[in-house]
Each structure stands twice: as structure tokens, then as C-alpha cells.
Amino acid sequence: MTAALEHPPVQAVSEPVLEIRDLRVQFDVPAGRLPAVDGVDLTLRQGEVLALVGESGSGKSALSMSLVGLNRGPRTHITGEVSFGGRDLVAASERELRAVRGKEIAVVFQDALAALNPLHRAGAQVSEMIRAHRDVPRAQARDRAVELLGEVGIASPDRAARSYPHQLSGGMRQRVMIAMGLANDPAVLIADEPTTALDVTIQAQVLAVLKRVQRDHGTSVLLITHDLGVVSEVAHRVAVMYAGRIVEQGLRDEVLFNPQHPYTMGLLGSVPPIDGPVLRRLPAISGSPLTGVERPSGCAFAPRCPFVHDACAERPELRRRHGGDGHVDACVLPGAERTEARTKGGTE
């Protein structure tokens, strides 16, 4: 089956569905308080796929989990505001959040085998998700579950519904997770590395399903990923995270093909492409990401940045500087130096 590669249409400015303001997530660790999310502002709009990109420890998963209170606990400190449907989810009680999770905001995880209950059949898990939030008869929920399994591209949904998770392949399990995510037609779907554990041919199938159901249902998707290729395939907008902060944000093609922040440039340069010229050496970013509790008061990327100046000692604001419409970055480099940075990509 071949399909022309479609770039998702650039969304006209639509209504915000989820607005994050100055979100901070800190974890108590033996060395002190780890600032996993360090003051993030982010808006998810109606019907868009917003990709949150970053490497391990950048805080992308901590951010997404805190939106629906999945990482609440005695060692977690969450402050800021997450407005959703007139409520602030940071201030919401666990009881209020339970009513939101799975109904209005659903989450699809990377590791479907761990997220699915091994003792229940796939179909039962999907229908359970429906019945947890809506008062529908068991038989009706069961029929809807089979329908949903078909919708996510499972060839024999009846049989899959009767199977236990271990009897399904990784790609099938991930489809079951997506079906569960869609069970209550949520306004927002948070997909945390939904295809990372899959082989590429299966990943392509699952991404196609995700794209199709997103479009058909008009769901707003927050896609957490480290894979810039996946971003290129499905996202409308991109936010790049580094050390708990967003360093660049904009329309997908702006960020991927007109990157402004030296970290984004370095990240793009680090991925060996499958076409075009083969470089003898990759323009790698030197050093390692920040992982400890200590963070510089200025730009967090400065210790690895080949273009660091005196001005980087102050924390840079995320605002529009040299990018196109709606394209913001947190780098104080002047325009001319950015051009140079882009051609060098990064240094090792």
C-alpha cells in the first residue's frame, strides 16, 4: 500500500484547549530538589498535534505526567497553572483528576505491555475504559470496544478483543492503547513516545493510525518524543525542551528547517540522515545534558554552547527574535551569529 506522504496542514490559529503557565515540577532526590520542569509556558490548541521534543532528562515526560497528576506524590512538588475547560488541573483534587483522566484527557504510553493489565482481555480493557466514565450497558461497551479496535487498524478486531496482551504483538498492543485512549473521545490525547518501542515498519503503521484518528476525531494531541523524524511526520507545531525549559517553539517546518536555538541546531545536526551527502563526522554537541540539581542561573545550554557570550549569564526569555510567525526561541545570539551557528551545526 502506498500513500503519498502528506504533510499535515498548518493549522489556522485555533482556540487553546490546554494552557500551561509557569509550570514547575521538582522531585526530591538525595542531592536536593531536582528541577525537572523549570518554568514552562505552553499552549495546546484545538485539533493540533504539538510535539514536545527533548532528550532523556529534559523534563518532557515529567511535564506531560504532571498535566494529569500522574506523578503526584510526597516527593513531587508541582506549581504553576494548567487551565483546561475552565479548571486548573494543578490545583484539582485527585478525585477531580480521576474524572478528567481517560475521559477528557487520555494518555498513551510507550510501553504498552507494562500499561495493559496482563490478566484482562484487550477488549475488556477498552470497554472498561468506556464504562469507567459513562453509564452504558456492558454489551454496548463491548461492541464499541471492537469497533474502536477496528478503527485503529486491527485486521480482526473480534479476535484481538478476545486476546490477552501477551498474545498480541508490540504493534497490536500499541493500537489497543490508542483505542483505549480514544474510548471516550477525549479532547486531549497525551502520547508519550507512542512508537519508540516499535520496529520501523510497524511504527509507520501506528503513526498512520494516530494521524488518521487525530484528524477524524479532531483530537488535540501532545506528542512527547525524542525522534525528530516522527515530529516531521505528524506534528503541526514543535516545542524543544532542554533542562526543564522550552528553548524553542514554532510551526514544525520553521523549527525543523529554520532552527534558531543552538541546541535545536545541534540536535538536528546530530541525526544522521537517510539521504543527502554523507558527512565524515557528525556535527555533535559537545558535553552532556544537565542532570543534577544545580542549574545555571542563566541559559541552561550555555555550558555546551559553542557560541556562548557574557550575555548568556542571564536567563533568556522565550520570545520571537529572528524566526517566522509564532516562532520563538530562548537565545540571545544576534542574527548574523545564528546564521554562522546554523552552517556549523554544532561542534565537538
Partner 1 sequence: MSAPLVSARRLRVEYPGRAGGRVRALRDVDLDILQGETLGLVGESGCGKSTLGRALLRVIEPSAGRIEFAGADLTRLRGRQLRRTRAELQMVFQDPFGSLNPRRRVADIVAEPLLRARGTTRTEAARTVAELLDLVGLGAEAGARRPHEFSGGQRQRIGIARALASSPQFVVADEAVSALDVSIQAQVLNLLSDLVRDRGLTMLFISHDLGVVRHIADRIAVMYLGQIIEIASRDAFFTGPAHPYSRALLSSVPALRRPGGDPAREREVLEGELPDPANPPEGCLFRTRCPKATAECRTRMPELREVAPGRSVRCHLPLVSGGFEAEGSSDAGNSSDCGGSASPAIKDVTL
Rg for the chain, CA atoms, rounded = 21
Q: State yes or no: residue 9 binds partner 1 (CB under 8 A).
A: no
Query: Parallel, antiparallel, or unpaired for β 328-329 and 245-251?
Result: antiparallel
Q: State yes or no: residue 256 binds partner 1 (CB under 8 A).
A: yes
The answer to whether 300 touches 313, Cβ cutoff 8 Å, is no
Q: Which of 318, 282, 251, 241 is nearest to 13 (CA)?
A: 251
Report the residue number, 61 or 127, with the smaller CB distance to partner 1: 61
Q: State yes or no: residue 171 binds partner 1 (CB under 8 A).
A: yes
Identity of residue 238: V
Count of chain residues binding partner 1 (CB under 8 A):
53
Distance separating alpha carbons of residues 120 and 108, to the nearest angstrom: 18
Site for partner 1 in 54-83 (CB under 8 A): 55-56
CB of 182 to partner 1, least distance (A): 20
CB of 199 to partner 1, least distance (A): 4
Q: State yes or no: residue 31 binds partner 1 (CB under 8 A).
A: no
Site for partner 1 in 227-246 (CB under 8 A): 227-230, 232-233
Q: State yes or no: residue 156 binds partner 1 (CB under 8 A).
A: no
CB of 79 to partner 1, least distance (A): 28
Handedness of CA 261, 264, 270, 271 (dihedral sign): negative
H-assigned helices in 152-197: 157-162, 170-182
Q: State yes or no: residue 202 binds partner 1 (CB under 8 A).
A: yes
End-to-end CA distance of the chain: 42
Q: State yes or no: residue 253 binds partner 1 (CB under 8 A).
A: yes
Q: Which of the stretches 81-89, 142-150, 159-167, 249-257 binds partner 1 when contact is defined by CB under 8 A?
A: 249-257
Site for partner 1 in 205-224 (CB under 8 A): 205, 207-208
Q: Site map for partner 1, 263-292, x if CB under 8 A?
A: ---xxxxxxxxxx--xxxxxxxxx-xx-x-
Q: State yes or no: residue 4 binds partner 1 (CB under 8 A).
A: yes
CB of 110 to partner 1, least distance (A): 14
CB of 68 to partner 1, least distance (A): 26
Q: What is the DSSP string of 301-342?
A: TGGG-TT--GGGGSPPP-B-SSSSTT-EE-----HHHHHHHH
The answer to whether 45 touches 252, Cβ cutoff 8 Å, is no
**3-state SS, residue 306:** coil
CB of 288 to partner 1, least distance (A): 5
Cβ neighbours of 107 (radius 10 Å): 24
Distance separating alpha carbons of residues 234 and 252, to the nearest angstrom: 9
CB of 285 to partner 1, least distance (A): 4
Cβ neighbours of 195 (radius 10 Å): 27
* Torsion of the alpha carbons at 46, 50, 176 and 133, rounded to the nearest 10: -40
Q: Which residues of the chain form contacts with partner 1 (CB under 8 A)? A: 1-5, 7, 55-56, 169, 171-172, 199-205, 207-208, 226-230, 232-233, 253, 256-257, 266-275, 278-286, 288-289, 291, 348
